[in-house]
Structure 1
Amino acid sequence: MMISALVLPRESDRKRAAFGRGSQARPMRFDLGRSALWTFVVLSAFGTGWGTTIKTENSVAADRTLDQAATLVELSDRSGGFCSIVGAADLELAEAFVRLGAFQVHLLCPEERICRQLRRKAAERAIADRISGQTYSGGALPYTDNLLNLVVVESSGIWSKQDAAAAAAELFRVSAPLGTILLRWSAADGGPGRAIADQLRKLGAEPLQANAALAGSWLCFRKPWPDGIDEWTHYLHGPDGNAVANDRVVGPPVHLQWVGPPLWLRSHESDSSISTVVTARGRIFYICDEAPISLRGPYPLPDKWSLIARDAFNGALLWKVPIRRWGWREWKPSWFTPRPGDFPLDIRKRLVAVGDRVYVTLGYDAPITELDARTGRILKTYDGTEHASEILYVDGTLITSAPVGEPLRLQVLAIDAATGRIRWRSQKVYRGTTVDYYRWTAMHGKVPVPKKIYPAPNLATDGKVIALIDGPQLVGLDFQSGRELWRADFPLDERDQTAGRIRSQGNLWNGTMILADGVVLHASPYKLAGFDATTGRLLWSQPKAYIGHLWYEWKEVFVVDGLVWTWDANLVREPLETPGGQDSARQKGRRRRKQTSLFPAFVNAYDLHTGELKKKVPLGPIFKTHHHHRCYRNKATVRYILASRRGTEFVDLNRGEHTVHNWVRSTCHVGMMPANGLQYVPPHPCQCYIEEKLSGFYALASDSADWKPESDSSASRLVRGPAYGEGRDGPAPDPDADWPTFRHDNRRSGATRASVGERAERVWQTSIGRKVSAPIAVADRVFVALVDEHGVVCLKADSGRHLWSYFVGGRIDSPPTYARGRLLFGSTDGWVYCLRASDGALVWRFRAAPAERLVGAFDQFESAWPVHGSVLVRDDTVYFVAGRSSELDGGL
């Protein structure tokens, strides 16, 4: 007889496939090699028939758990995200969630002993980068608001019945909008499960109908979408072109919600590494080049563009779809791109997300493609939409334009999104505009002319009329038929002909185009005008001011509650104080020039239908500063304009209580996105205001009215381990032979007086983790951190033999520090740990974070106040810093 180990398809696998990814998306990890989920099959050595299936008790239980997890995930309507299991006593359900999709799981364990066991099991099963945990005995849940897509309460006995209201409020608070709350329950359960469920209903949680597999054992709820937050489905919020979110939660940034990659964009001198960003139904989508940074230029090195989907409330990676023909090679001969122009300005309008669907061109000249927003699976490609330049979506209809003929003209198309049928093509073709494309050439000299940049129609629609640009005129099309309704001359100011040293030749600028309440709004650098959307009749006009160094200022027009907001045309010029440091050094040896700042003193509100001035809000000195406006358009909510003169200036439209946040700035040409109650800030490649630069893709939250830290003392933050109070019996490091800390010593010199031979030979090699930190070495021991798997490992220096390991609640981003027989390190879980170096026993751990509050960070749970792994020890005192920024969550 011959015994082989095979994996057989099971019901749970079929359920998994039902909500799995397409072949073009990031594949799910489903590693059975370490999971006790093998099925053993006996095959006859003398035949080809199947033998008898033998299942162990453990594998049968694992199958049941996987089936149950698949049903729970299917009920949640999420293919990935952040999950918490409250009252976790084993690893099986958590492991099943990890195997089924892109889930990060955090365990809240009733005892420290159980927590340590589960962390170690996760490491043994090679899933410690997907599962973390800590102890929890009731009270506030250790998560920031709206973080979790799936909350599973395995045991509600952690609360009393008297705690039901508080427990339900916490479960509701930490669940993301559209997140799922699952309470394990039985009729014989005398615990608070039913009472918590009743309280969830009172809070507005929607009961979910459990199927037969869950009925009687789980109570299921979904957190509804809150009234006060809004999506951002198109580049300028919606198809109407009005870059205003109906969001009353977005406000001045105070807290971190999540941070993710990329840390940096590829180059300041080339096209932006992020092309556009949108969000719908709790997911965020963006087109990004993930090739190595600082390698752009005249090199034959490929870009690496993808359409990426993340959870909008925790940043968890959901899927990626590659985009093969994108980037500067598709439209120009040179990689060099000065900030203002010579790239397709309407490329940011190539991505739309609505509900559970995404519409995108997966290539610069590719047709429009529809994808499943949950999985990234391609559902259909729309024939006849090749070279589409802009995409709008309204009530099941896609509106786009495609270049035709020679010279290039634009034809507008309407497409049934469900069937792909082209409903109509415009009978006429239109010139669009290219004014504002070639600014740098005009301002600063010759650069290679782009070879294939299509005219921009600047489409906008309200579902009744489609407005666009046709050279020097505005045009209105009937939404239902594509018939041309009207065309109108725009009242250009004479100065519009040469603004920014660009010769417009009478053509309109690719600026504001908004349809709101029967009015078409368009802006040039020096004029703002409103037209009747039905007839094209000019209703009113107002002057605007063009400020050369505020490149995008003239495009800023926002409609809020029937008022048209834009900057006052009367500008103020005031002297600036010459700063010290770098600017002063530049002035040495030459005559200083008096610097001034030119800026608007007011933001004005005009009546949408008459153009009458209704309100003026003073701006004070918030725009009085050096340098230029950020290289992207501003956005707004119904409460604020998020201006970007320096970083982010929150212009308060109601009370005039403006705030300035120079440390928050975004991707060139794309800008920020206020949506989902958060301020989304893609990374930027600039060194401007480098002292407080945020590195990474950030989602920032305003001050929370719901989360309140529980009061505690320094004593309660100190946890003593079994080795606490024992003497320090370890050897002191030899400065000439050992390497006891990161970069050798407290000066981080990276140098030692030890001598090594000229020829190095490998003595041993061992595999211990996916991502390993730099090592430290003392006497006969080597210590390393397993960065993403939350562990510290001790090896024998002469053989590489594993001596011990210790696992904690978060990443350890750098090597530990050795001091007098102790090993000390920090973790992104917000704690500092001290172990006995000889055997890894815990001496003590101290919570450096001021409170237990977990956020999303690079696809894992981390404290809002992480601690770097390499702490500094001097004279028996440990020094460390907890936090991410001086400006977030109370600082460092």
Structure 2
Amino acid sequence: MSRRTRRVGRLSGASVSLVALLPWALAAAGAPEAAAAEPSPAAEILAATGVKGGLVVHVGCGDGRLTAAFGAGEPYLVHGLDGDAKNVERAREYIRSLGLYGKVSVEHWTEKRLPYADNLVNLLVAERLGGIPMDEVMRVLCPNGVACIGGKKTVKPWPAEIDEWTHHLHDAGGNAVASDRVAGPPRHLQWTAGPRWARSHGYTPSTSVLDETLTCVDDTVPSTWRLVARDAFSGVLLWKRPLPEWGSKALSGTDDTGRGVTTGRFTMPPHVGKRLVAVGDTVYVTLGAGAPVTALDAATGRQRRVYAETARADEVLLSASSPSTRPPRTGPRWPPGASRPPPRPASTSAPSMRQAGACSGRRAPSWASAPAWVRTR
């Protein structure tokens, strides 16, 4: 047999062996895929509790593997506690090996009082609490926060005394007075987040609070505008969306030089803060100067719907009726001291913005499906 014939024979034999082994290889490859398809314990806990972002505390973190798994998602900040110093060292080493330390951290803790301010934690997980009383767990949980202790789920109820600020002027009625009986003079710092400085010479910021989510239009120097959502109780960043067509140049055609403060003539439209409404699990906002109103998922920032008929909107109200537009306002601007027309009466059809329910599955009410009143230029 020639060398060439022998080479072909060997290749043919190898091919036969490969074909014979192929069914076994496919079966073996299917096992890891099936295992990978199964959710991790951390994913199961997050799904069962309905917590979609915020501060997660793991009491009794052990080797840190479950603790680190909670930090795999973007909108989570994770803090582990353990009474065994050796466990803490092992957990830190493991978390560092994943490149997650900072976003996920662990601490040696043996006290019965947890190291957190009141109403700060979104999710607390523990196989057992040890000497930590359940009252202490409820103290640190934020309203609608969840404790998962030994597989048992406990939800901290939303106090009736806490109101929501869903529109630029509180609610659809336009009366900038909340019925909140908890807010008052500041007594402590709950959380702080950037940007530390923002250019705000020619406009007023727009901020809305719904349930445990706070959204605001964020102007970060140099002229980089973003829509930012943070957890209102823990301050953890949930998501960002860029706003490329924003700012004084895009909205009014005039560069913001800061002279609006001294001259009283601001370069931003007076209703720019009224382009953001947050109700239920939805944020309604214009993502550009002449853009229509877009509905975003409050927890993730994902786009749900675009209301094309609302292009060039400069004010949004959410009430029980269907979307409509008002014609552009005409006439002179009212100088100081001049006789003004009577103010627009508050809407009587606007429903209450306060809602009840557990954070494990909040659904928007039927009237929250669309912004109902859109003012256009």
TM norm structure 2 = 0.78
Residues 652-667 of structure 1 mapped to structure 2, 5 A cutoff: none
- 2:218: which partner in 1? 288
CA shift in 2, pair 1:400/1:250, >3 Å: farther
Contact 1:78 / 1:374 at 8 angstroms: preserved in 2? Answer: no
The correspondence for 1:271, drawn from 202, 215, 219, is 202
Contact 1:88 / 1:110 at 8 angstroms: preserved in 2? Answer: no
Q: Relative contact order (alpha carbons < 8 A, sep ≥ 6): 1 or 2 greater?
A: 2
Find out whether 1:261 has 2:191 as its counterpart: no
Deviation string 1:163-195 (CA, Å, 9 cap, x unpaired) is: 7xxx111111111111111011xxxxxxxxxxx
1:380 is matched by which residue type in structure 2?
R
- 1:762: which partner in 2? none
Q: Secondary structure at 2:101's aligned position in 1? A: coil
Q: Secondary structure at 1:225's aligned position in 2? A: coil
CA shift in 2, pair 1:83/1:328, >3 Å: same
Contact 2:202 / 2:267 at 8 angstroms: preserved in 1? Answer: no
Contact 1:94 / 1:105 at 8 angstroms: preserved in 2? Answer: yes
1:181 is matched by which residue type in structure 2?
A
Find out whether 1:67 has 2:18 as its counterpart: no
Larger strand proportion of the pair: 1
Give the whole-Å Cα distance in 1 for the aligned partners of 2:345 and 2:111.
51
Find out whether 1:220 has 2:153 as its counterpart: yes
Give the whole-Å Cα distance in 1 for the aligned partners of 2:74 and 2:291.
30
CA shift in 2, pair 1:399/1:315, >3 Å: farther
Residues 181-220 of structure 1 mapped to structure 2, 5 A cutoff: 181-184=147-150, 218-220=151-153
- 2:285: which partner in 1? 360
The correspondence for 2:109, drawn from 118, 136, 141, is 136
1:311 is matched by which residue type in structure 2?
D
Deviation string 1:374-432 (CA, Å, 9 cap, x unpaired) is: 1111011012110011100123645654xxxxxxx52xxxxxxxxxxxxxxxxxxx537
- 1:335: which partner in 2? 256
Q: Secondary structure at 2:51's aligned position in 1? A: coil
Contact 1:88 / 1:155 at 8 angstroms: preserved in 2? Answer: no
- 1:53: which partner in 2? 29
- 1:323: which partner in 2? 243
The correspondence for 1:239, drawn from 172, 193, 198, is 172
1:262 is matched by which residue type in structure 2?
P
Give the whole-Å Cα distance in 1 for the aligned partners of 2:246 and 2:234.
28
1:317 is matched by which residue type in structure 2?
L
CA shift in 2, pair 1:46/1:179, >3 Å: same
Give the whole-Å Cα distance in 2 for the aligned partners of 1:144 and 1:513.
42
Give the whole-Å Cα distance in 2 for the aligned partners of 1:315 and 1:392.
26
Give the whole-Å Cα distance in 1 for the aligned partners of 2:20 and 2:218.
56
Contact 1:179 / 1:222 at 8 angstroms: preserved in 2? Answer: yes
- 2:337: which partner in 1? 496
- 1:106: which partner in 2? 79
Deviant stretches of 4+, over 6 Å: 44-50
Deviation at 1:365, TM superposition (A): 0.5
Give the whole-Å Cα distance in 1 for the aligned partners of 2:209 and 2:182.
16
- 1:127: which partner in 2? 100
Give the whole-Å Cα distance in 1 for the aligned partners of 2:318 and 2:331.
20
- 1:611: which partner in 2? none
- 1:96: which partner in 2? 69
**Which stretch of structure 1 is more off in the superposition, 255-264 or 68-77?**
68-77
Larger helix proportion of the pair: 2
Deviation at 1:261, TM superposition (A): 0.7
Residues 409-488 of structure 1 mapped to structure 2, 5 A cutoff: 409-410=327-328, 430-431=329-330, 434-435=333-334
Contact 2:55 / 2:78 at 8 angstroms: preserved in 1? Answer: yes
Q: Secondary structure at 1:240's aligned position in 2? A: coil
Deviation string 1:641-700 (CA, Å, 9 cap, x unpaired) is: xxxxxxxxxxxxxxxxxxxxxxxxxxxxxxxxxxxxxxxxxxxxxxxxxxxxxxxxxxxx
CA shift in 2, pair 1:397/1:182, >3 Å: farther
The correspondence for 2:310, drawn from 385, 405, 412, is 385
Give the whole-Å Cα distance in 2 for the aligned partners of 1:336 and 1:229.
39
Residues 558-569 of structure 1 mapped to structure 2, 5 A cutoff: none
Contact 2:167 / 2:208 at 8 angstroms: preserved in 1? Answer: yes
Give the whole-Å Cα distance in 1 for the aligned partners of 2:77 and 2:227.
21
Q: Secondary structure at 2:72's aligned position in 1? A: helix
Give the whole-Å Cα distance in 1 for the aligned partners of 2:198 and 2:116.
30
Contact 1:143 / 1:174 at 8 angstroms: preserved in 2? Answer: yes
CA shift in 2, pair 1:148/1:399, >3 Å: farther
Give the whole-Å Cα distance in 2 for the aligned partners of 1:45 and 1:312.
59
Q: Secondary structure at 1:171's aligned position in 2? A: helix
Superposition CA RMSD, Å: 3.0
Give the whole-Å Cα distance in 2 for the aligned partners of 1:151 and 1:516.
41
Deviation string 1:179-234 (CA, Å, 9 cap, x unpaired) is: 111011xxxxxxxxxxxxxxxxxxxxxxxxxxxxxxxxx11121111111111000
Deviation string 1:418-455 (CA, Å, 9 cap, x unpaired) is: xxxxxxxxxxxx5376447xxxxxxxxxxxxxxxxxxx
2:155 is matched by which residue type in structure 1?
R
CA shift in 2, pair 1:332/1:99, >3 Å: same
Give the whole-Å Cα distance in 2 for the aligned partners of 1:305 and 1:283.
19
Contact 2:274 / 2:316 at 8 angstroms: preserved in 1? Answer: yes
Give the whole-Å Cα distance in 1 for the aligned partners of 2:48 and 2:236.
19
1:174 is matched by which residue type in structure 2?
V
Gaps of 5+ in 1: 1-43, 185-217, 293-302, 402-408, 411-429, 437-494, 498-505, 519-892
Find out whether 1:371 has 2:291 as its counterpart: no
Gaps of 5+ in 2: 1-17, 350-377
Deviation string 1:717-769 (CA, Å, 9 cap, x unpaired) is: xxxxxxxxxxxxxxxxxxxxxxxxxxxxxxxxxxxxxxxxxxxxxxxxxxxxx
Contact 1:241 / 1:513 at 8 angstroms: preserved in 2? Answer: no
1:170 is matched by which residue type in structure 2?
E
Contact 1:271 / 1:327 at 8 angstroms: preserved in 2? Answer: no
CA shift in 2, pair 1:48/1:291, >3 Å: farther
CA shift in 2, pair 1:63/1:99, >3 Å: farther
Q: Secondary structure at 1:265's aligned position in 2? A: coil
Give the whole-Å Cα distance in 2 for the aligned partners of 1:63 and 1:155.
28
Q: Secondary structure at 1:496's aligned position in 2? A: coil
Contact 2:277 / 2:284 at 8 angstroms: preserved in 1? Answer: yes
2:198 is matched by which residue type in structure 1?
L
TM norm structure 1 = 0.34
- 1:551: which partner in 2? none
Contact 1:232 / 1:238 at 8 angstroms: preserved in 2? Answer: yes
Deviation at 1:271, TM superposition (A): 3.5
